Structure 1
Amino acid sequence: MKILPKLLFAALLFLGAVHGLVTEPVGELDNAEPTGHNETAFGGCTRWYMTPGTHPLDMDFIAECQTEDGSYLKSRQYLGQCIANVGGFLIMQDNGWFGSTCGDCWLGPDPQGELGMFTWLHCNCYDGERWGDTYINLDAVITNFHGLLSCLGHVAVLA
């Protein structure tokens, strides 16, 4: 019974890769295919994707966000500044640095089956005894602060 979720995940990942919905940036960031394509979330951001973290306990979330004058800025938010692993669950928490106890993270749709944008962070996290799948909606954590990504008062850096 435990193999079924892993097989389902593998099938969804394969279908997403085939249809260009799930990508893993390779090489320079400017050449990375965005997960968010042309959808808009996070208060007016588009073309978002994740990369391995600049900080050792982190993952980076990159997006282009609209400013007040209509232009876009590309910024990099360190997700560990606003997400923690507590008991095997991802939660919004200041300086949670979830990357120290979570891995195999990817962006995907709502895990409850509702169709939508790929704004959910899915990870395999350790609860102190075993590893398990968990997720959090980044659209509820990250906002657009004058064209820069922001979470819990931490404003992203330009990418």
Structure 2
Amino acid sequence: RATQDIDIVVLRGTTATARAMLRSSPDFCVDPRTNHTTYTGGTPVDIEILTPPFMFQEAFDEATGVVSVEGVSVLKPALLLNAKCGSVGCRSSEGKRRSDALDVLFLLRFCVAHPEYLPKIGEVPNATGELVGALVEVYGGEEEWVAAGYDLKKGCFIRE
């Protein structure tokens, strides 16, 4: 599926700087009244700038692990997976839960396709057996979880 939005996580106190960088690019539109930000360089995509600990609830600082994907620094897939697993149950609507669940499946497939990013033991504590069971029951994806190294009986990732 095509992404519905892009979340950019920035250090606390740097939101204005990040938004100014986007505003200076011809590929982004920032509404001067609401700060609503949209990528306009192709198919329009909404941009959300998140800062911890309220808008992004995972640990995030200068030492947080990132990887380079096509020249763009992104959070390690296991950290993204943990964040999505932590948020999916808290979403206010079925549409948002479904969107998060589809993001989880995308991340699992990405990790399987790029084995260097497969989650290790303890990296995705929010992926409890109860949560994964519920996600699989409602949205499917058992094969993706198993292929990514998740033990459905133990309720955790088992890669060392």
- Asked if Structure 1 and Structure 2 have the same fold, meaning a TM-score greater than 0.5 normalized by the shorter chain, the answer is no
Structure with more helix by fraction: 2
Structure with more strand by fraction: 1
- Higher-RCO chain (CA-CA 8 Å, sequence separation at least 6): 1
TM-score range, shorter chain: under 0.3
Compare CA radii of gyration and give the structure with the larger one: 2
Q: TM-score, normalised by structure 1?
A: 0.23
Q: TM-score, normalised by structure 2?
A: 0.23
